[in-house]
Amino acid sequence: MPGWIPASDINRRIWRSRAGRAGVLLTGGLLAAALVAAHVGPPDPFASVGPPLSAPTLSHPMGTDDLGRDLLSGVAHGTRTSLVLAVIVSMLTGIIGVMVGALAAWEGGTLDDLLMRVTEFVQVVPRFFLAVLVIALFGPGLERLALLLAVTSWPWIARVVRAEALSLKRREFVEAARALGAGGPRILLREVLPNLLPPVLVVVSLNAAGVILIEAGLSFLGLGDPDVVSLGYLANNAQRFLRVAWWMAAFPGAAIAAAVLGLNLLGDGLNDALNPRFES
């Protein structure tokens, strides 16, 4: 199957890329923190466990907030919330984008024009302000936010998939499969879609970083879910105490920056690793 790169080669190429290596380390570290969130400090991030506004100490490495809650536990749980949201939205946008882009390229004609006009319309919708409007009308909630971001974030993926599929459908291996009697759906599923995965993975990783930023921005403005700890929630809570408790803003902000930087570097690493001109 042309263009297919074994997983072992992809892992090796990512690790040889500086951007990919840094992205793996940053993202892997945050994933590890998210997985062990329940075992980092107090299991309940909303529980008061110490004196309010306590600076970082051995017992509370990231200090406490204005209610005496352990900030390390809050950052670990907030990282898990942000990453889970990014993964869910990325999976949904990947499915929608691949379906729309592949169908538009494969069928062509009127259906292609119709799907591309819908894609253009969704693409120009300002996601952040639409999220603000939906939250203002229907109230905050991670499920609602995930669905909203999913249905407004797929156009970029659809465009990439369509461009790649238009190129692949004219390739020799597709013509050979058609000459052997394979039907359109079989060719699309067995020959075209596997070759679309590399660019899709790159775009999805970059889109995940944008999801984290949008959630953090909404929570920073006080529009996040007050019942769930997220990195934006912690940053919002730190606004009133910037002069007296620097750690309340510094550590959640560093986690947001690390998550966004890690996912962007991982996307660059995937782009290098999946490039057929990569020097092995």
Q: Report the distance separating Cα 268 and Cα 65, nearest Å.
A: 36
What is the reported pLDDT for 70? Answer: 92
Secondary structure letter of residue 57 according to DSSP: -
Q: Which CATH number fits domain 7-37+69-273: 1.10.3720.10, 3.40.50.410, 3.90.226.10, 3.40.50.10540?
A: 1.10.3720.10
Return the number of other C-beta atoms located less than 10 Å from residue 200's C-beta: 19
Domain boundaries, the chain: 7-37+69-273
pLDDT tens digits, 191-219: 778 778 778 888 888 889 988 998 888 88
Q: Mark the ranges of the chain whose per-residue pLDDT is less than 70.
A: 1-10, 183-184, 275-280
Buried b (16+ CB within 10 A) or exposed e, 219-234: bbeebbbeebbbbbbb
* 5 within 8 A of 274, measured Cβ to Cβ: yes
Q: What is the reported pTM?
A: 0.83
Specify the pLDDT at position 220. Answer: 84
